[in-house]
């Protein structure tokens, strides 16, 4: 049976669609964001001057060579509006736009779902409820790709952060609304199969989704983007005379444990280590201000620039409370970096490539950072082993995982 993939944004959906295309199992791929140079909004990159160049950098994140454009359905501009509003710092409005855009997107692909011919639907959390309802009415097998843990656990964890570190969480990240959690639960119930990128994520869905949901859950590890990371240079032995270079990449937020990382760095002299933060800042300004001089912060950059940034650093730090499975971890391995992470962050470090902390804490993170700073030979060994470990998360293995899943499901 063929499989139709839909996602109003991107995440790893293009890799799912591409794997299915290579397996000759892709019915179609529907998304709001797919680079087509002769259509809006991508035509705007031709504007003269800095604006055109900036748009070109942004659009470069969505060039997915290899996918057959004839199998891609594009619908609406809501995702672009959400991104613009989010970049302006209007996060509550961005969340409302996201919910509206997901509903609109589902309606726009409804005609495709209702069309004749047998095919399964592969959708993603937050945008699959109405599409799955329509698909179930047509008797279609329904696969939900859950890219984040269950938000009921997130709310409990953020309650703890708000109590231990008041003033760090921005209001939009404080709690996930009950209506969104209800939509998630409905997606669980409609789905025949629920996929998670890591065992941690899968366990949260089993524990919080209820007994009728737990049996549907499977783990399918993600892959890194080989077009960007397959040719990263092999790491060279560290220069013992310079500070160790740590990197955190992704959203810079309390959910990711950045408050613990910044607190830990107040105990480490600049001569011993540096810290670079790359990504959207989602921390209260008054909380970040005392740490701003100690770290280097780079706002969101085009995906194409991430490999060079990773290659220029030694160890990725990802002390997250709550994830699906952070792609930054396996991208770091592919870049020859050591990795210090929490178990909740997902697939990444092993005892040969870094450290895995049971839970985020300032003391635990400081101890892990110092163990790397004081033992450069150990960090060298992590880095040497990293790229071989990354091959566990190759596109070929991801594609094979999809093929095995479809066979298991009898599709």
**What CATH number is attached to the domain comprising 163?**
3.40.50
Confidence class for position 41, pLDDT limits 50, 70, 90: low
Lowest mean pLDDT among 102-116, 166-180, 208-222: 102-116
Considering the domain architecture, whether residues 158 and 99 belong to the same structural domain is answered as: yes
pLDDT at residue 279 greater than cutoff 70: yes
Q: What is the mean pLDDT of residues 54-83?
A: 66
Confidence class for position 48, pLDDT limits 50, 70, 90: confident
DSSP codes joined into one string, 240-274 = TTS-EEEEEES-BSGGGTHHHHHHHHTTS-TTTEE
Q: What is the mean pLDDT of residues 129-149?
A: 96
Percent of residues, the chain, with pLDDT higher than 70: 85
Q: What is the pTM of this model?
A: 0.88
Considering the domain architecture, whether residues 166 and 250 belong to the same structural domain is answered as: no
Residues 361, 264: Cα–Cα separation, whole Å: 9
Residues 280, 263: Cα–Cα separation, whole Å: 19
pLDDT at residue 190 greater than cutoff 60: yes
**Using an 8 Å Cβ cutoff, are 171 and 93 in contact?**
no
Domain residues for 292?
A: 226-393
Mean per-residue pLDDT over the chain, rounded: 90
Considering the domain architecture, whether residues 211 and 99 belong to the same structural domain is answered as: yes
The C-alpha angle 85, 86, 90, rounded to 5 degrees, equals 70
Query: Hey, what are 35's tokens?
Result: 């680079």
Considering the domain architecture, whether residues 159 and 285 belong to the same structural domain is answered as: no
Confidence class for position 17, pLDDT limits 50, 70, 90: very high
pLDDT digits (tens, 9 = 90+) for 237-271: 999 999 999 999 999 999 999 999 999 999 999 99
Q: What is the mean pLDDT of residues 132-148?
A: 97
Beta bridge partners of residue 120, listed in sequence order: 3
Residues 329, 17: Cα–Cα separation, whole Å: 22
Considering the domain architecture, whether residues 175 and 266 belong to the same structural domain is answered as: no
Residue 23 DSSP SS3: coil
Confidence class for position 52, pLDDT limits 50, 70, 90: low
Considering the domain architecture, whether residues 106 and 35 belong to the same structural domain is answered as: yes
pLDDT at residue 76 greater than cutoff 60: no
**What pLDDT does 33 receive?**
72
Confidence class for position 73, pLDDT limits 50, 70, 90: confident
**What pLDDT does 98 receive?**
59
Considering the domain architecture, whether residues 136 and 278 belong to the same structural domain is answered as: no
Lowest mean pLDDT among 73-77, 183-187, 269-273: 73-77
Residues 247, 377: Cα–Cα separation, whole Å: 19
Q: Which residues contact 104 (CB under 8 A, 6 or more apart)?
A: 75, 76, 78
Considering the domain architecture, whether residues 319 and 288 belong to the same structural domain is answered as: yes
Considering the domain architecture, whether residues 211 and 233 belong to the same structural domain is answered as: no
Residues 324, 202: Cα–Cα separation, whole Å: 8
Residue 357 DSSP SS3: strand
Considering the domain architecture, whether residues 154 and 181 belong to the same structural domain is answered as: yes
Q: Which residues contact 67 (CB under 8 A, 6 or more apart)?
A: 14, 17, 18, 21, 29, 34
The total domain count for the chain is 2
Say which CATH number the domain at 299 has.
3.40.50.2000
Helix (H) or strand (E) holding 18: helix 13-22
Q: What is the mean pLDDT of residues 7-33?
A: 91
Considering the domain architecture, whether residues 297 and 309 belong to the same structural domain is answered as: yes
Residues 381, 338: Cα–Cα separation, whole Å: 8
Query: What Cα–Cα distance (Å) separates residue 358 from each residue in 205, 257, 260, 342, 404?
Result: 19, 13, 14, 6, 31
Considering the domain architecture, whether residues 124 and 264 belong to the same structural domain is answered as: no
**What pLDDT does 55 receive?**
55
Q: What is the mean pLDDT of residues 361-384?
A: 99
């Amino acid at each position: 049976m063929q499989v139709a993939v839909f996602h109003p944004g991107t995440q790893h959906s293009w890799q799912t669609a591409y794997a299915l295309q290579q397996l000759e199992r892709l019915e179609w791929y529907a998304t709001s964001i797919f680079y087509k140079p002769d259509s809006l909004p991508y035509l705007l990159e031709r504007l003269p001057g800095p604006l055109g160049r900036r748009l070109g950098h942004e659009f470069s994140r969505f060039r997915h060579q290899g996918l057959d454009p004839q199998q891609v359905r594009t619908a609406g501009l809501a995702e672009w509006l959400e991104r613009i509003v989010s970049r302006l710092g209007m996060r509550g409005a961005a969340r409302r736009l996201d919910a509206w855009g997901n509903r609109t997107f589902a309606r726009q692909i409804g005609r495709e779902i209702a069309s004749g011919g047998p095919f399964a639907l592969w959708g993603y959390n937050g945008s699959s409820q109405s599409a799955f309802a329509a698909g179930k009415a047509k008797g279609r097998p329904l696969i939900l790709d859950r890219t984040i843990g269950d938000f009921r656990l997130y709310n409990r964890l953020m309650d703890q952060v708000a109590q231990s570190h008041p003033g760090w969480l921005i209001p939009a990240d404080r709690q996930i609304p009950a209506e969104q959690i209800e939509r998630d639960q409905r997606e669980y119930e409609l789905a025949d199969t629920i996929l998670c990128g890591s065992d941690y994520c899968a366990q949260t869905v089993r524990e919080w989704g209820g007994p009728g949901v737990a049996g549907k859950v499977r783990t399918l590890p993600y892959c890194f983007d080989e077009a960007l990371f397959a040719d990263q240079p092999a790491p060279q032995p560290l220069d013992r005379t310079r500070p160790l270079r740590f990197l955190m990449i992704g959203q810079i937020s309390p959910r990711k444990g950045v408050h613990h990382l910044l607190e830990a760095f107040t105990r480490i002299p600049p001569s011993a280590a540096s810290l670079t933060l790359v990504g959207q800042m989602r921390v209260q300004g008054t909380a970040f201000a005392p740490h701003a001089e100690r770290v280097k912060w780079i706002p969101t950059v085009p995906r194409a620039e991430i490999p060079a940034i990773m290659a220029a650093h030694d160890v990725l730090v990802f002390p997250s409370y709550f994830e699906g499975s952070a792609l930054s971890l396996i991208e770091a391995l592919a870049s020859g970096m050591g990795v210090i992470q929490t178990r909740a962050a997902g697939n990444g470090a092993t005892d040969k490539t870094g450290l895995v902390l049971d839970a985020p804490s300032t003391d635990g993170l400081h101890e892990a950072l110092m163990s790397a700073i004081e033992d450069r030979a150990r960090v060298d060994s992590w880095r040497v082993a990293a790229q071989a470990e990354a091959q566990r998360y190759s596109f070929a293995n991801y594609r094979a995982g999809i093929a095995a899943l479809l066979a298991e499901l009898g599709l």
